[in-house]
Amino acid sequence: MLVLVMIVFHYDRQAARFDIGAVGRLPQETEVLDATGERIGYLHGEDVGMPVPLESVSEHFLNALVAREDSRFYRHHGIDRRGLIRAWIRNVKEGRAVQGASTITMQLTRMTYGLTGKTMQRKLLEMALARRIEKHYDKPEILSQYVNRIFLGTGMNGIEQASFGYFGKSSSELTLPEAAMIAGVIRAPNGFSPFRHYEVALREMRSTIWRMEDEGMISKAEAEAFCEARPVVQDQSIWMEMLREQSKVSEQTHLLQMIEDRVDELLPSLVGVGGLTIHTTIDQRLQRSADLSVNQRLAEIEALPGYPHPTLAGHEKGDPAYLQAAVAVTENFTGALRAIVGGREFSHSAFDRAIQSRRPLGSIFKPLVYGTAFERGLFPGVLISDARIEPGEIRWDEEGWDPENSDGTFGDPLPASLGLIRSRNTMTARVGEWAGIDNVLKMMQHAGLGDPGREFSPTIYIGTLGASVEKVASAYSVFATGGVRHEPYFIETVIDRDGTTLFQHEGESYQVLSSGAAWLTSNILKQVLEEGGTGASLRTRGFTAPAGGKTGTTNDFFDAWFAGYTSRLSACVWLGLDQPKTIFEGAYGGKVALPIWQDVMSEAQRIGYEFTDFAAPEEVIEMQLCRISGKLAKDDCEEAGDLYIEQVPHDLIPRKFCKDH
């Protein structure tokens, strides 16, 4: 008895954590709106049936339901002890679970709170919750919630939808055989479906009618007569057409899945209840543009002569082996996501490549390396060697890394700015060493790209680490904001059916780069898009607004990237195959990813996003510096021909004179 009391006490405490008010709230569709108030779609609770008052439901169905599912419904307090004992004895005799003992209240508990599984722990919790429900709600209220929630097959939720679906009439008009047939469906909605298994449904109807006779609801003569009936079930196509017209069901997409996952994370107690209005930051105009561009541009690639991979058009089943893309567009000064594309076809793969995938970044990581070095005394005009990395030059490297440049050549010292504009690997490695590996790793984390852990090598300088498309877009925004990163987000508010605000986004921002270092890096990234830069095709394609950006292509053309920003928006585009392979020879980021970026940004400009010149730091001073040390130049620097003029932001003014001359 003591053990029993302890078990009851434990599960009563567990049950007390659940919101009992959820039982009285019929599921409703959750509406998702974009930043302009346009509906994106519906989430969980989206196909919620056609709720009706209990008094509008045929008495025949209520009797059939009670007889079939819970004959002692009006006599127990949530748990039918006799039924439990009877089921236990039957199951022991059979040596397997052949009979359950769930009451209507216990079934309502499962439907309300999404309890799944067949463990003893789940059953005990279900029983404790059923007892709580019986204390808070009377029998008609419990029955009303049940008949309006119960799944009755083929997309039918609740008795009203089932009545219209199977028989083309309201639940108030059901005859006794029709009501018994629907009640017979409950235990196996698809297996006993009158649409697909009419004779089986007829058998369950007759079983229900005899249960009604056992309970004294009808006479034996009536039962025999009703069992002869063969209710006319309308064609399933009629119901499917009704469902398409009436139900608020959205085609599932990566975007809706992302929103649903986030809301479930924010408000786990409301999972499955619905009735919410979710205001997001998404701009559907940009979202549609990004989706369209991805589909069109990748279809063009798949149509190239000799393209070596399966195509979307040819996909039949299994994991998609065709080319994928991901896009993220974020507002620089708020962090609000305006568009995000996680892949080409959600029905083929729910994996979201914009937020879940971490692919090697390649050269689009280099601006953060340069920005880190600028904060620590490097300037764009300082000369950096483009020669081969010598053994021992990177002192902490135990493997003797020897990077190649993309063109296979090495060269003389060049201004640091050209190392980024031309994406020189050897120069970038030396710039990274100027900054210090620890500082580069800290910068990577501050920019939101994650922590590489303890296993890393100098290859990190040229982008061998992985990060998500969404995080890269956010990281690039710091070059437009004076070094400030606004944490990306896409849920503004969540409001319940009563108008109560359940969640309100509160912005988070912090300094990633100094304003001077961000400005110096941005000036170079603007040159990347001009003649001689890896992203110069953006200008030849007709995009004229002030912008900065960087292309990225990983080894063997496995990944193609373009990340860029304007004064208002930052965006990142990735292309590749889920199982990394060469996209095709020559699939550079500037060739295949940049056009999608241009499409989206051009549409943003067309619909009213203003792209202005970038703001400069408050004070920029023209100074004489040494090209070798980056410090204040002396006469010796001038005599050696290493003096040059640099535009220096006030927060980066060197305080020491050159000691290298």
Residues 6+ away with beta carbon under 8 Å from 10: none
Q: Which of 136-150, 224-238, 257-271, 504-518 has the lowest mean pLDDT?
A: 257-271
pLDDT for residue 456: 82
Q: What residues form DSSP beta bridges with 551?
A: 562
pTM of the model: 0.80
For 468-500, the pLDDT digits (tens) are 999 999 999 999 999 999 999 999 999 988 899
What average pLDDT score do residues 180-186 get? 96
pLDDT band for position 398 (cuts 50, 70, 90): confident
Q: Which residues of 38-60 are buried (b: 16+ CB within 10 A; e: fewer)?
A: eebbbbbbbbbbbbbebeebbeb
**CATH, domain range 49-246:** 1.10.3810.10
What average pLDDT score do residues 250-274 get? 84
CA distance linking residue 229 with residue 222, whole number of Å? 11
pLDDT for residue 49: 78
pLDDT for residue 588: 95
For 562-578, the pLDDT digits (tens) are 999 999 999 999 999 99
Q: What architecture does CATH give domain 352-528? A: 3-Layer(aba) Sandwich (3.40)
pLDDT for residue 80: 81
> What count of residues does the chain have?
661
pLDDT for residue 319: 93
Q: Where in the chain is the domain with CATH 1.10.3810.10?
A: 49-246
Closest CA to 623 of 574, 580, 598, 656: 656
pLDDT for residue 113 is more than 90: no
For 430-455, the pLDDT digits (tens) are 999 999 999 999 999 999 998 877 77
pLDDT for residue 315 is more than 70: yes
Residues 6+ away with beta carbon under 8 Å from 317: none
Residues 6+ away with beta carbon under 8 Å from 453: none
CA distance linking residue 312 with residue 322, whole number of Å? 6
What average pLDDT score do residues 183-187 get? 94
Contact 39, 32 (CB under 8 A): yes
For 2-16, the pLDDT digits (tens) are 877 677 667 678 778
Q: Which of 8-22, 309-323, 587-601 has the lowest mean pLDDT?
A: 8-22
| Mean pLDDT for the chain overall | 91
pLDDT for residue 247: 66
- What percent of the chain lies above the pLDDT cut of 90? 76
pLDDT for residue 45 is more than 90: no
CA distance linking residue 326 with residue 344, whole number of Å? 8
pLDDT for residue 178 is more than 50: yes
Closest CA to 205 of 172, 165, 166: 166
Alpha helices of 28-138 — where are they, by DSSP H? Answer: 59-69, 81-94, 104-113, 120-136
CA distance linking residue 64 with residue 522, whole number of Å? 73
Q: Where in the chain is the domain with CATH 3.40.710.10?
A: 352-528
pLDDT for residue 98: 44
- Considering 112-121, 153-162, 369-378, the range whose residues carry the highest mean pLDDT is 369-378
